[in-house]
């Protein structure tokens, strides 16, 4: 193959480069594309000279096109170049230094004495306008008064931070702020030590501490020895609730959930591997003889209960000001707990004796149990070797949901223990009024028959006719219509006779209603004359809707104060 002329190749490359450079936005033809590819192959083989940039430097033909091509957002040059891949030293952006930050506060020695043009109309500072002023709006601004000019703030610089400067969390931090915090804590620590020394001197003066405690306190106890006062990160260090012991087991042991496969047995929590109850509780086995009695068995056996009581006493004493701790001073805590229990028992005994001395009742406390009084019992009770009841008679179930034998208002009998003439009352005083106060033998001697509420009215209303229902009234109307259709010829005679009969019945009913109304009025008058505490209890009286005759009788017997003849009615 004949070697290509370098001069012709260079001209061809220049022409192609000119075509490509000028017509880059346009679509290349097949011929131009083929020539470009041939030229690139000749340059890679070394048969054609390399491209030269605008600075006269050769461009490596093996550089990929996506690196050598200029991005669209940079002004493309006529000639190929790698300038965009080199550091831009002349146009490099100047970033702010590390110590440079926004200025705070106001400028020193720049307080003006007169108003300046363009300054804030409210306070007179030149660094902001009226709408950005942070001072209280004045009634007359500094623009008009010319006095009280506020100092100018620091001129805020526009920081240009680089990538690291924008993400530096300590950029602009003033180390003097930390020094102020250290000084504040030092003052607090000094005050605490002064108070502690003063308290120690007071205890030494009063003689509360012995020589050993003085030596121990002289070394300077650290207040952080109490674990209850420490808040550790990541966990709650409250000794009342903190549990850090892992509930692990040895793999050779039987798993807890395999001890009893009954689904109604003790619940097993797979997350914490805990089975708090006894899995053999429903099998009837003795909990002292089984190999595993639940997680709570360990908590409630041995010295665990006494240890828990001692710890609870230590917490209560510490809250009330006593400097005791279970791990720091176990002997002191034990002696203090014993003395507390002795004093507590003495106080209970003294309180019991004072109550018995004031109210009596010692004979009931000294009485022997019911089993000894009756000399026998049929209650079966089974005890364990520790004295705990394993099997026994169940607790008696209450037979009534209401309170029984509850005596109120000095009564010796309950309500309903006395019955007379259809009314309930109290047997102790024969009172028919519920919730009344007992009068004793005096109430028994008094005849309460007159105080029975509306006795006569009840008997009379029972004899009266019951009001008809709507169904009965409708049936009667339907019967009347049928009779009227059958007896059309004798309509006038039948109507006259029926009207006369109805009028007679109405007159009789009205007469009875008037008599009953007179009795009712007299009874009301007698009741109003009695003392309100002696009036009978009348809530059991039957209440029904009045009839037309009763309403008419009430209207006729009603006293009208506006009637001019009302004064002559009683004569």
Residue stretches of the chain with pLDDT short of 50 = 1-23, 212, 223-237, 242, 245, 395-396, 452-464, 539-540, 571
DSSP summary character for residue 251: T
Rounded CA gap, 249 and 265, in Å?
Answer: 21
CB 427 within 8 A of CB 407: no
Give, to the nearest 10 degrees, the angle between helix 304-319 and helix 330-359: 90
The Cα-based distances of 549 to 67, 499, 517, 553, 560 in angstroms read 119, 17, 10, 6, 19
3-state secondary structure (DSSP) of residue 382:
strand
CB 467 within 8 A of CB 545: yes
51 forms beta bridges with 59
pLDDT mean across residues, the chain: 77
H-run or E-run covering 20? helix 6-22
Task: Provide the strand spans (E) within 421-526.
Answer: 423-425
CA–CA separation, 88 vs 106, rounded Å? 39
pLDDT of residue 461: 44
pLDDT at 18: 42
Helix (H) or strand (E) holding 390: strand 389-391
Give Cβ neighbours of residue 173 (< 8 Å, ≥ 6 apart). Answer: none
**Number of Cβ atoms within 10 Å of the Cβ of 439:** 19
pLDDT at 365: 83
CA-to-CA dists, residue 481 to 284, 450, 506, angstroms: 83, 50, 21
- Give, in order, the Cα–Cα distances in Å from 356 to each of 345, 348, 350: 17, 12, 10
Burial class (CB in 10 A: 0-12, 13-18, 19+), 222: exposed
pLDDT reported for residue 247: 54
Q: Can you give the length of the chain in residues?
A: 571
Q: What is the token pair recorded at 212? A: 């050993």
Can you name the residues that pair with 58 across neighbouring β-strands? 52
Cα–Cα distance for residue pair 294/287, rounded to 1 Å: 9
Are residues 228 and 326 in contact, defined by beta-carbon separation less than 8 angstroms?
Answer: no
Q: Identify the CA nearest to 32 among candidates 7, 15, 49.
A: 15
d(CA 194, CA 188): 10
Query: CB count, 10 Å around CB of 51?
Result: 21
Q: What is the CATH number of domain 112-149?
A: 4.10.60
Residue 182 has which token pair?
A: 């250290």
Residue 67's pLDDT is what?
Answer: 85
Q: What digits encode the pLDDT tens for the residues 406-441?
A: 888 888 888 888 888 888 888 888 888 888 888 888
For residues 457 and 518, the answer to whether their CB atoms sit within 8 Å is no
Positive or negative, the CA dihedral 301, 304, 309, 315 is negative
First to last CA, the chain: 163
Query: How confident is the model at residue 538, as a pLDDT?
Result: 59
Q: Where are the alpha helices (DSSP H) in 288-329?
A: 295-299, 304-319
| Half-sphere exposure in the Cβ direction for 383 (13 Å, CA) | 5
Nearby residues of 255 by Cβ (< 8 Å), 6 or more positions away: 249
Q: What is the DSSP string of 171-219?
A: TT--HHHHHHHHHHHHHHHHHHHHHHHHHHHHHHHHT-S-HHHHHHHHT
How many percent of the chain have pLDDT more than 70? 75
């Amino acid at each position: 193959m004949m070697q290509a002329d370098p001069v012709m190749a260079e001209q061809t490359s220049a022409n192609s480069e000119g075509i490509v450079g000028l017509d880059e936005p346009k679509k290349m033809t097949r011929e131009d594309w083929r020539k470009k590819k041939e030229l690139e192959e000749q340059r890679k083989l070394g048969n054609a000279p390399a491209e030269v940039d605008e600075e006269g430097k050769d461009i490596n033909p093996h550089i990929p096109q996506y690196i050598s091509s200029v991005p669209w957002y940079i002004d493309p040059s006529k000639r190929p170049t790698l300038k965009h891949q080199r550091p831009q030293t002349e146009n490099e952006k100047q970033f702010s230094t590390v110590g440079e930050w926004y200025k705070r506060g106001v400028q020193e020695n720049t307080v003006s004495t007169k108003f300046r043009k363009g300054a804030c109309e409210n306070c007179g500072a030149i660094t902001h306008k009226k709408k950005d002023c942070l001072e209280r709006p004045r009634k007359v601004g500094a623009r008009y008064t010319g006095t009280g000019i506020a100092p100018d703030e620091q001129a805020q610089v526009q920081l240009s931070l680089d990538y690291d400067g924008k993400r530096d969390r300590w950029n602009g931090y003033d180390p003097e702020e930390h020094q102020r915090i250290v000084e504040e804590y030092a003052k607090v620590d000094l005050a605490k030590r002064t108070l502690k020394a003063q308290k120690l001197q007071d205890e030494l003066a009063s003689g509360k501490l012995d020589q050993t405690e003085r030596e121990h306190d002289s070394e300077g106890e650290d207040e952080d020895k109490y674990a209850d006062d420490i808040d550790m990160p990541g966990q709650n260090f409250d000794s009342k609730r903190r549990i850090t012991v892992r509930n692990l087991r040895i793999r050779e042991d039987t798993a807890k959930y395999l001890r009893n496969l009954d689904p109604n047995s003790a619940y097993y929590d797979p997350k914490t591997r805990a089975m708090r109850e006894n899995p053999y509780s429903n099998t009837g086995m003795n909990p002292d003889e089984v190999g595993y009695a639940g997680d709570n068995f360990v908590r409630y056996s041995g010295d665990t209960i006494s240890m828990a009581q001692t710890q609870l006493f230590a917490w209560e004493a510490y809250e009330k000001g006593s400097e005791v701790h279970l791990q720091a001073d176990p002997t002191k805590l034990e002696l203090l707990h014993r003395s507390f229990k002795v004093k507590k028992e003495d106080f209970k005994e003294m309180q019991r004796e004072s109550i018995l001395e004031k109210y009596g009742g010692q004979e009931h406390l000294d009485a022997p149990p019911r089993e000894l009084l009756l000399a026998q019992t049929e209650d079966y009770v089974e005890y364990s070797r520790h004295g705990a009841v394993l099997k026994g008679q169940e607790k008696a179930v209450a037979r009534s949901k209401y309170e029984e034998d509850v005596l109120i208002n000095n009564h010796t009998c309950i309500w309903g223990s006395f019955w007379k003439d259809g009314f309930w009352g109290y047997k102790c005083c024969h009172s028919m009024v519920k919730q009344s106060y007992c009068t004793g033998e005096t109430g028994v001697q008094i005849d309460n028959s007159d105080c029975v509420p509306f006795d006569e009215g009840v008997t009379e209303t029972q004899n009266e006719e019951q009001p008809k229902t709507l169904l009965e009234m409708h049936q009667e109307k339907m019967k009347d219509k049928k009779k009227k259709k059958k007896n059309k010829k004798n309509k006038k005679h039948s109507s006259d006779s029926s009207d006369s009969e109805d009028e007679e019945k109405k007159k009789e009913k009205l007469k009875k209603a008037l008599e009953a109304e007179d009795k009712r009025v007299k009874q009301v008058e007698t009741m109003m004359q009695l003392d309100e505490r002696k009036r009978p209890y009348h809530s059991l009286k039957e209440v029904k809707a009045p009839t037309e005759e009763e309403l008419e009788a009430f209207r006729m017997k009603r006293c009208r104060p506006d009637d001019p003849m009302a004064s002559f009615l009683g004569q």
